[in-house]
Structure 1
C-alpha cells in the first residue's frame, strides 16, 4: 500500500543546509538589500525593466511548454491591441492576465486551494476549455520530452481522486512553515513549487501555474526580483538543468524520502542570477553621458556575439524601445552595424571595417 504523501516542511525531509546553499542564500539576501536602494533611486529605469520582464516571462513560460507566437503578435497581445488568433495566443493571453494580476495584487492573494483554482481558471479564460479552474479528473504522468521527438516517463503524480486533499495539505504546510521560520522563506517557496509540480494537479497548465505561483510566493516574501528580471526566461535558458533537478528530487517522493536539495540548489541559482542581472543592468544606467548608439556599440563589443533587439532593450533599460530602434537604424545607416538572420532570429553585429 502506497504511503500518503506528507509535506514535512518543519524539517524539509531532514534537509542539511550545505555550504553551497548557505552561500547562495547569503548572496541573495545581500543583493536584495541593494535592490531596495535601487527602487528608491532608479525608478524610471526599473519601470522599463518591468515592461520587458512581463513580455519575456509570458513568452518564455509558454515557450517551455511549446506555446509561442511571433514577436510582433506577442507585443500586440501584451499591449491588448489585438485579439488572440489561435489556441497558442489564447493561452499566452491567459498567462498575461494572471501575471498582471500577481504583479498588481500579490499582497491580497492568499496561497490556498481557492487561489490556485482561480488562477488556473484565469489562465484558460480565453480558450474554449471547460476544465480551467478544476483539478484533474483522470490520472496523469510527467514525461521528459527529447529533441528527437521521443519521450520517457519521469514521474507518476498522485491519483486524481486525492489531488484536492494533497493541494489543501500542501498549502497548509507551506503557510505554517513560513510562520514557524525554521528555514529561509526562499527554501520554503522552492519546496512548495517542487511539490506542486510533483502533484501535477491539472490536466494542463501545471508548469505555467508552478512558475506563476513561484512569482507569487517570492513577491509575498519580499523577493520581488522577478518583477524586473524574468525568472521564466532564466528557467527556459537552463531547461535541461531544471528537468534534471526535478528528476533527482523526485526520487522517493511518494514515500516521503526524497531529497529537496537538488531542486533547492537550482531554484536558488535562478534567483541569484536574477539579482545579479538586475544589478548589472541598472549599473549600466550610470553611463548617463553615453548616447544610445554608443551603448549599443559597447554591448555588441562586450558580449562578443550577435544580439537581438529584445536583448539590447533588456541591456539598455534607461532608453525606451523606440529610442533603441532609432539608434539601431542610425547605426545601420552609418554602416557601423549589420543584420544577420530574419524574423525571430534577427540579430545585430558590428560591421567589420
Structure 2
C-alpha cells in the first residue's frame, strides 16, 4: 500500500537551487506586501478580473476545452448560460475558482472538500460522476503536438482511491501544522501526490490546479489571486509532464524523488511573483509612456500578444487607452497585426 512520508518526503534534501527559489519568492512577497497595496486598489482589481478569465481559459484549454473569447467573457460575467459541454465545464470551473478566492480561509484540505469541489466542477453537466471518486482504473496520458497520446503513469487502482486521498490529506495537514518543512515544498508535494493518485474519471488536472490555488492561499502565498497560475502552467506544459514523469519513478513503492516536481512548482510560483511585481511597479511612474510599455511587453514576451494580454501586462491603463496606443504604434510601423478579428495579436516590427 502506498504510504505518504510527509515527515521527510522520502528523505528529500533541499538543494541550493531550491533554496534560491524559496529566498527569491520570499523576498518578492515581502516587497509586494510592503509596497502599500492599498494604493494600487484599482490596478489590483483589474488584475483579479483578468486573472480569473485567464485561469478559467487556460486550465480548461489544457484539457482541450474551449469557447470563443466573447462567450468566455459572457460566461465569466454570468451574462449567459452554457450552450454546450465545453461551456458547461468552463462554467463549473468559474464557480469553483470564485469559491476558493472568496472562502479559502474556511475550506479544509480534506477528502470531503475534494469531492465537493469536483461536484461543483461538473454541476452544469449531465455527467453522473461529479463528486464521486473513480470506479474504473485510469491512466495519466499526455496529448502530444501531433494529436497522439502517450501514457505517462499508471495511477493506483480505483478501489484504493478513498483511502489514499484520506491518508494524503491527513499527512499534508499534519506536516503543515508541524512546520518542519517549508510550506511551499509541502504544497508542491501535495499537488504532485494528488495528481499521481488521479482520483477521478475526469477533471483530475483541473482539480489539481484549483487545489494548488487553495493550498497556496492557506500558506499565505496569495499571488494566484492576481496572476493566473493556470496560464503559467499552460505555457510550461511540456516541463510539467517531464517533471511529473521524473518524480513518478518509484512512487508506488515510496522511493520516488519529489525534487523534479518541486523544482518545477517553485518555478511557477517565482514567475508569478515576478510578474505581479512587474505589473505593480510601473504604477509608481505615472509619466511612463504607454507606447513604451507596450513595446517593452512585446519585447519581453517575444511572442504575439493580444489586446487582452496587454491589458494584463499593463493593468494601470484601460482598454480604450491600449486600443488607441496600438492603433498609433501600428500606423507608425512599430508593430503589426497577426491574424484578424477576435484572434488579432500584435508583434514587433523588426
Residue 299 to residue 236, structure 1, CA distance change in 2 (3 Å) = closer
Residue by residue over 1:42-67, the C-alpha shift from the partner in whole angstroms, topping out at 9 and shown as x without a partner, is: 22211111111111111111111111
> For structure 1, which segment, 141-150 or 192-201, has the greater mean C-alpha deviation from structure 2 after superposition?
141-150
User: Which residue among 9, 14, 17 is the counterpart of 1:17?
Assistant: 14
Deviation at 1:74, TM superposition (A): 1.0
Q: Which residue does the alignment assign to 1:91?
A: 89
Residue by residue over 1:291-337, the C-alpha shift from the partner in whole angstroms, topping out at 9 and shown as x without a partner, is: 54554355446656542112211111112234323443465567765
Q: Which residue does the alignment assign to 2:25?
A: 28
> For structure 1, which segment, 148-157 or 78-87, has the greater mean C-alpha deviation from structure 2 after superposition?
148-157
Q: Distance in 2 between matches of 1:122 and 1:99?
A: 10
Deviation at 1:257, TM superposition (A): 0.6
Q: Distance in 2 between matches of 1:40 and 1:135?
A: 42
State how 1:133-282 maps to structure 2 within 5 Å.
133-282=131-280
For the 8 Å contact 1:60–1:236, the answer to whether it is kept is: yes
Q: Distance in 1 between matches of 2:224 and 2:56?
A: 12
Aligned to 1:24, the other structure's residue is in SS state helix
> For structure 1, which segment, 274-283 or 35-44, has the greater mean C-alpha deviation from structure 2 after superposition?
35-44
TM-score (norm 1): 0.93
Residue 256 to residue 87, structure 1, CA distance change in 2 (3 Å) = same
Q: Distance in 1 between matches of 2:300 and 2:258?
A: 38
Root-mean-square deviation (CA, aligned residues, Å) is 1.9
Residue 128 to residue 326, structure 1, CA distance change in 2 (3 Å) = farther
Deviation at 1:284, TM superposition (A): 1.9
User: Which residue among 311, 320, 345 is the counterpart of 2:309?
Assistant: 311
For the 8 Å contact 1:48–1:320, the answer to whether it is kept is: no
Q: Distance in 1 between matches of 2:320 and 2:74?
A: 15
Gaps of 5+ in 2: none
Residue by residue over 1:144-179, the C-alpha shift from the partner in whole angstroms, topping out at 9 and shown as x without a partner, is: 221222222211111111111111111000100001
Residue 306 to residue 198, structure 1, CA distance change in 2 (3 Å) = closer
Deviation at 1:78, TM superposition (A): 0.8
Q: Distance in 2 between matches of 1:238 and 1:207?
A: 14
Aligned to 1:14, the other structure's residue is in SS state coil
User: Which residue among 50, 53, 56 is the counterpart of 1:55?
Assistant: 53
User: Which residue among 8, 11, 25 is the counterpart of 2:5?
Assistant: 8
Q: Which residue does the alignment assign to 1:320?
A: 318
Deviation at 1:94, TM superposition (A): 0.6
Aligned to 2:221, the other structure's residue is in SS state coil
Q: Which residue does the alignment assign to 2:283?
A: 285
Residue 343 to residue 33, structure 1, CA distance change in 2 (3 Å) = same
Q: Distance in 2 between matches of 1:170 and 1:86?
A: 35
State how 1:60-139 maps to structure 2 within 5 Å.
60-139=58-137
TM-score (norm 2): 0.94
Residue by residue over 1:10-29, the C-alpha shift from the partner in whole angstroms, topping out at 9 and shown as x without a partner, is: 00000011111111111111
Residue 306 to residue 147, structure 1, CA distance change in 2 (3 Å) = closer
Aligned to 1:42, the other structure's residue is in SS state helix
Aligned to 1:240, the other structure's residue is in SS state helix
Q: Distance in 2 between matches of 1:36 and 1:300?
A: 28
Residue 297 to residue 193, structure 1, CA distance change in 2 (3 Å) = closer
